[in-house]
Amino acid sequence: MKSSKERAEKKERRMGAVVQIDTGEIQQHVDQVVRDTVEETLNAMLEAEADRLCQAQRYERTAARADTRAGHYERTLQTRVGDVALKMPKLRRLPFETAIIERYRRRETSVEEALMEMYLAGVSVRRVEDISEALWGTRVSTGTVSNLNKQMYQRIEAWRNRPIAGQYPYVYLDGIWLKRSWGGEYQNVSVLVAIGVNAAGYREVLGVAEGLKEDHASWLGFLRHLKARGLAEVQLVVSDKCLGLLEALGECYPTALWQRCVVHFYRNVLAVVPRGKLGAVTAMLRAIHAQEDRAAALDKSQVVVSKLQELKLGQAAQVVADGAAETLSFYAFPREHWRSIRTNNPLERIMREIRRRTRVVGCFPDGQSALMLVAARLRHIAGSRWGERRYLKVERLEEASLVAAEA
């Protein structure tokens, strides 16, 4: 019989014949294969896109050729399996723009913005490192976070203080309340925002600033800041009713008309109406702003006041009597613009997005952090399709001015 020692040696020999799998090495090999495939595919796509722009393949002689190659430069694209080296074609005359690079930029922006948001929200630098590794598979160093923070402040401040050039006939103003920690207590901090429609009909974020309150001093400082940067003439300002804002507006832009947001006006009226009568009163209010001109709308508002009094809704009747005229300034502008300039909805939508992004933060470490995060988000929105889509045909405003001058 074989001894136990012999049996053990025989078993060891059999085990030696078994293939030992190193899962880590296999994973590295798989990642390398995927990375090479991605790199080869993307570079082939870039070459095809360059051929399309040139309207000819490389070295091809054809009368239809629109441009020629001028070499390439390398760019790194981060992926889940590691960095991929892209060979970006260069053309002699045409700019080379590609959807691949646009997606790369969006990824860079989203990662950078997320790091900024975490830092501004008071997340520690070491915690930012851990989160970045968990999310993107890459650990962001302490130095990187600090550099991002410095660069972010510089870029946002430069963007907030950039010159305002050209005409902005329509300007929308609003403020948002956020919470900050101050001396162990929670305090409210206001961030004031302005957007405008430029002479070409596109929307732009004009400014954002911190205001301790939505009072006269805060709004006056904000409007003076806009004016100093170049916002010289405004034809119509749209906002909710705020006495401090109205006083400051009269000082900085005395010739501008003021349009009280119709939606906020409706809310003020309906706040003092019983639930069972909300539908009927809403229909009355909408009838005011469905009239053909300002005079007819004023007459209709008087009819609505009388009906509300008959329904024993004295408070609602008083709100309509006191404020209806403030909601009718839009009638002085082209009919095609009425729907877009009688409410603060263009800015309200942006404010909802900001509230959604800041709600997860809760309380900011200070007012400057709140301002920076709001400004960073506004800057991102301004660079998106929001600012690329034409909002109004402003030439209608010029046509209306010519007709009025001839009359």
Q: With bands split at pLDDT 50, 70 and 90, how would you rate the model's confidence at 340?
A: very high
Structure tokens at 354: 């900001």
Q: Report the pLDDT averaged over residues 43-58.
A: 81
The bridge status of strand 363-364 relative to strand 257-260 is unpaired
Quote the CA–CA distance of 315 and 213 in Å, as a whole number: 28
| Residue 96 · residue 359 · CB < 8 Å | no
Q: pLDDT higher for 316 or 385? A: 316
The answer to whether residue 18 scores a pLDDT higher than 50 is no
The bridge status of strand 236-239 relative to strand 257-260 is parallel
Please, what is the average pLDDT of the chain?
80
| Residue 197 · residue 170 · CB < 8 Å | yes
pLDDT in tens, 137-160: 556 666 666 666 677 778 888 999
CA-closest candidate to residue 369, choices 156, 109, 135, 184:
156
103-107, 110-114, 183-187, 302-306: least confidently modelled range: 103-107
Quote the CA–CA distance of 192 and 211 in Å, as a whole number: 6
Please report the pLDDT score of residue 402 as a whole number. Answer: 44
Q: What percent of the chain has pLDDT over 90?
A: 39
Please report the pLDDT score of residue 403 as a whole number. Answer: 40
The answer to whether residue 309 scores a pLDDT higher than 90 is yes
Return the top range by mean pLDDT from 20-29, 121-130, 247-256: 247-256
Q: Cite the DSSP H helix spans in 311-344.
A: 314-323, 338-341
Quote the CA–CA distance of 317 and 39 in Å, as a whole number: 69
Q: Cite the DSSP H helix spans in 167-229.
A: 216-228
Length of the chain: 407
CA-closest candidate to residue 325, choices 258, 382, 387, 392:
258
| Residue 167 · residue 120 · CB < 8 Å | no
pLDDT in tens, 195-211: 999 999 999 999 999 88
pLDDT in tens, 240-293: 999 999 999 999 999 999 999 999 999 999 999 999 999 999 999 999 999 999
Q: What residue spans define the domains of the chain?
A: 33-97, 111-159, 166-258+363-407, 262-343
CA-closest candidate to residue 218, choices 198, 186, 194, 236:
194
Stated pTM of the model: 0.68
Q: Report the pLDDT averaged over residues 178-204.
A: 84
Fold for 166-258+363-407, please state it. Nucleotidyltransferase; domain 5 (3.30.420)
Please report the pLDDT score of residue 19 as a whole number. Answer: 44
pLDDT in tens, 52-107: 888 877 777 777 787 887 788 887 776 655 677 888 888 877 777 666 555 554 55
Structure tokens at 139: 């650990």
Structure tokens at 271: 């706040």
Please report the pLDDT score of residue 138 as a whole number. Answer: 59
Q: Report the pLDDT averaged over residues 334-339.
A: 94
The answer to whether residue 384 scores a pLDDT higher than 70 is yes
**Which residue type does 59 have?**
Y
Q: pLDDT higher for 308 or 27? A: 308
Structure tokens at 396: 């209608």
Please report the pLDDT score of residue 112 as a whole number. Answer: 57
**Cβ neighbours around 392 below 10 Å, total:** 22
Place of tokens 């694209």: 77
**Which residue type does 226 have?**
L
Quote the CA–CA distance of 250 and 256 in Å, as a whole number: 8
Q: pLDDT higher for 261 or 372? A: 261
